[in-house]
Amino acid sequence: MRRLVLVGPPGAGKGTQAVALSDKLGVPHISTGDLFRSHIGDETELGRNVRHYLDAGKLVPDEITNEMVKERLDEPDAADGFLLDGFPRNVGQADVLRAFLTDHGLELDAVVQLQVDEEVVVARLLSRGRADDNEDVIRHRQQVYRSETAPLLDYYRDVLVTVDGVGEVGEITDRVLSALRART
């Protein structure tokens, strides 16, 4: 279980779980949101190009996102595994990931779905206070999740591991780890 994707609605706690899981599993945590935010913070050309998408809660165009992720996956630390957080976020991105892995003779081991109700995630995000966390943008991100990202649950049905994402952080990490162990 070294090539993993974490999916779940914005606010499901993917980032927090991804940090803990990548530590326990010994694979790098690759978050597209973090990559974009660091480009924005460093004022790179990519950062300038994507900023308005993040501010509006819209998906960054696939060409930009896919290239950035493929470059990241080509770095040596990802050769033995990775935990993707926030990618893929639509079926087009999932096709690109599949093609990339197939080219390298690889495949995903599991896709972990963190399941949390929409009211719970919206409440969590409102209390978080990140720049793109105002209510309209949050609602929009949830809509994007439902229409663009949720279809991945079916796309990945053969490797999908669904975990209840409500509870203590450490408890949820343990649930994910034992669900993954149960698959091997």
Interface residue list for ligand ADP (CB under 6 A)? 10-11, 14, 32-33, 36, 53-54, 57-60, 65, 86-87, 89, 93, 141
Residue 104 exposed, middle or buried by CB count within 10 Å (0-12, 13-18, 19+)? exposed
CB nearer ligand ADP, residue 138 or residue 181: 138
Q: Give the nearest distance from C-beta 141 to ligand ADP in angstroms.
A: 5
CB nearer ligand ADP, residue 36 or residue 156: 36
Sequence-ordered alpha helix ranges (H) in the chain: 14-25, 32-41, 45-56, 62-73, 91-103, 118-128, 135-144, 151-155, 169-183
Query: What distance separates the 2 farthest-apart alpha carbons in the chain?
Result: 44
CB nearer ligand ADP, residue 86 or residue 165: 86
CB nearer ligand ADP, residue 42 or residue 182: 42
Q: Give the nearest distance from C-beta 70 to ligand ADP in angstroms.
A: 12
CB nearer ligand ADP, residue 1 or residue 50: 50
Q: Give the nearest distance from C-beta 131 to ligand ADP in angstroms.
A: 10
* Angstrom distance (rounded) from CA 89 to CA 171: 26
Q: Give the nearest distance from C-beta 179 to ligand ADP in angstroms.
A: 21
* Angstrom distance (rounded) from CA 81 to CA 83: 7
The residue sitting closest to ligand ADP, measured at its beta carbon, is: 33
Omega prior to 88 cis, within 30 of 0: yes
C-alpha distances in Å from residue 16, one per residue of 94, 108, 114: 23, 21, 11
Q: Give the nearest distance from C-beta 181 to ligand ADP in angstroms.
A: 26
